[in-house]
Structure 1
Amino acid sequence: MILFAGMLLDAAIGEPKLLWSRVPHPAILMGKLIGWCDQTFNKGNNRRLKGFTVIAALCIAAGLLGCVLQALPTAIVDVVLIAVLLAQKSLVQHVKAVADALRLSVGDGRMAVAMIVGRDTKDMDQSAVARSAIESAAENLSDGVIAPAFWFAVGGLPGLLIYKITNTADSMIGYRTERHEQFGWAAARLDDLLNLIPARLTALMIWAVTNRPRVRPILQEAPRHRSPNAGWPEAAMAHGLDIALSGPRSYDGQMQDFPYVNGDGERDLTPTDIDRAVTTLWKTWAMGLCLALIIAIL
């Protein structure tokens, strides 16, 4: 019942500004620790080995902390940590904010979507803004909700904290840049491994709560994605809502000619399509909540 209660608490309160304006969020603390490791160890020779050693040490420390917290004689700590480290309500709020802003103007939509994506937004039209928000919704549903819940179900607080420190490290140093290609290699590969099952589980859940399109197109298109995991929830969302996702986009001023996912789907997207994606987020969360209850009963 701990996971069930934690998911409910996260959906109810999200990330209250009153609290996190006064004390640092655990993800912020993780980020500061990883940033310190990056500045301290990402230099000189053997950067790949150093990066491997850093992520191994971080995971061991996270696992040990999880064991200590889990041994406390109250389940409240577990429930609160789950609520803090899951991101269902905050994800919904950020994605919905894009739809609300886009209804005001394309410029407002660009500013809102720039808060949740890393691509260039200044030349986006309405469809590109909506598409970006929906892609972010699908990917972060896996990374921010289903995957941490899955790893708590598998490994308790140690599993949850190991996943979160790895995912945070990947988001900070897991890039193929000159600085991080070697040092962040281990973090990126471990994150890929830890998301292998959750990403596909998320796709299955999205498929189950939408209009249940044919499975074969999802199975065919998901592996073509540039990410080994993000393509699964994205393909399921694209086919579930019958819209085209991915496609060409610009990073750092360079246009990247990525293929569309579900290219035959609707390409002229609107704020209403973002609303449909938000509804899918809640339906998938509800299915996850039911699974958590079933696990608790069994």
Structure 2
Amino acid sequence: MTLLIGLLLDAVLGEPRWLWSRAPHPAVLMGRAVGWIDARFNIGKHRKRAGTLAFAGMCLCALLIGLVLTAIPGNWIDVIVLAVLLAQRSLVDHVRAVATALRAGLPQGRAAVAMIVGRDTAALSAPATARAAIESAAENLSDGVIAPAFWFAVAGLPGLLVYKITNTADSMIGYRTPRHQDFGWTAARFDDLLNWIPARLTALLIWVLRPSRARLSAIMAEAPLHRSPNAGWPESAMAHVLGVALSGPRVYHGTTRDYPFVNPQGRHRIGPTDIDAACRVLWLAWGVGVFAVVIATLF
């Protein structure tokens, strides 16, 4: 029941500006902690060992905080923390903002999508801008909603907080750059591990919306070709449900990466209406997940 209430509260309230303009969001605090650890310990010759120890310390702190919060009588603190750390409403809002901006013009669309993706956006075409938004929608449905809910269901607040600090660390230091390929190695690998099941659950939640169009065999064949061991699953499912091609070549830090397309036979000329369709898929998949939680709660 706690998980169900948390999912519903997040969907209704999202991230209230009146609150987070006055107090730092827990995710922001986690990001500051990761940034401080990166600046303080990502030095010297033994960066992989330093990164492993620093990351283990972060996870231990998250675990202890979770245990302390769990010891508070009642489940109200669980509901509040869960609702705050889920991101369904904010995800849809950010993705939909790209569609709105893209309708106003390509520069506006590029600026909006730059808020939610890590690739270079200055030279994106209109279809590439829409594709980036839809890919972010699919991946973040897994990372920002399904995975936190899954780990809360498995291990309560300790599991949720360990997952969130891991995902935050991966998003900041988990890149294969000269600075972070060693220091962030453990965080990135642990994030891959924690997202293995949720990514596939997310693909399943998307697939059941249109199984006649999104063949499960095609999703299972294409997902492992993705650059990420997990992101390919929700992206492939989203691509097939919408009938569009996703992933493909993109530019990071001035370097073009020639990644293969997911659902390459799908439409390549996509735009704001396809982003709107992706937002509908986000809510429908969320609804299927909520229904599954209700069934699990009853039985």
- Shorter-chain TM-score bucket reads over 0.9
Distance in 1, matches of 2:282 and 2:20, equals: 24
Match of 1:272 in 2: 273
Match of 1:284 in 2: 285
AA at the equivalent of 2:103: R
What secondary structure sits across from 2:112 in the alignment?
A: helix
Residues 90-129 of structure 1 correspond to what in structure 2 (within 5 A)?
90-129=90-129
What secondary structure sits across from 2:208 in the alignment?
A: helix
Q: How many residues align?
A: 298
Q: Percent identity?
A: 61
What whole-Å deviation, never above 9, does each CA across 1:225-271 have from its counterpart, x for those lacking one? 01110000000001111110011112222222211111100111021
AA at the equivalent of 2:245: A
Distance in 1, matches of 2:262 and 2:49, equals: 36
Distance in 2, matches of 1:53 and 1:175, equals: 18
What secondary structure sits across from 1:60 in the alignment?
A: helix
Match of 2:21 in 1: 21
Structure 2 residue runs of 5 or longer lacking an equivalent are none
1:42 equivalenced with 2:27 (yes/no) = no
Q: CA deviation at 1:210?
A: 3.0
1:135/1:246 contact within 8 Å kept: yes
AA at the equivalent of 1:270: G
Residues 244-259 of structure 1 correspond to what in structure 2 (within 5 A)?
244-259=245-260
Question: If the length of structure 1 is used for normalisation, what is the TM-score?
Answer: 0.98
Distance in 1, matches of 2:120 and 2:27, equals: 25
Distance in 2, matches of 1:102 and 1:210, equals: 27
Q: CA deviation at 1:178?
A: 1.1
Match of 1:214 in 2: 215
Distance in 2, matches of 1:183 and 1:106, equals: 37
AA at the equivalent of 1:144: G
What whole-Å deviation, never above 9, does each CA across 1:44-91 have from its counterpart, x for those lacking one? 132111111111121121111111111211211111111110000000
Residues 127-276 of structure 1 correspond to what in structure 2 (within 5 A)?
127-212=127-212, 213-276=214-277
Q: CA deviation at 1:157?
A: 0.4
What whole-Å deviation, never above 9, does each CA across 1:180-214 have from its counterpart, x for those lacking one? 11111100000000000000110011001235421
1:113/1:132 contact within 8 Å kept: yes
Distance in 2, matches of 1:248 and 1:72, equals: 49
Stretches (4+) displaced over 3 A: none
Distance in 2, matches of 1:272 and 1:57, equals: 45
Distance in 2, matches of 1:254 and 1:180, equals: 17
AA at the equivalent of 1:253: G
Structure 1 residue runs of 5 or longer lacking an equivalent are none
What whole-Å deviation, never above 9, does each CA across 1:5-38 have from its counterpart, x for those lacking one? 0000000111111101111110111111111111
Distance in 2, matches of 1:55 and 1:75, equals: 29
Distance in 1, matches of 2:40 and 2:140, equals: 30
AA at the equivalent of 1:295: A
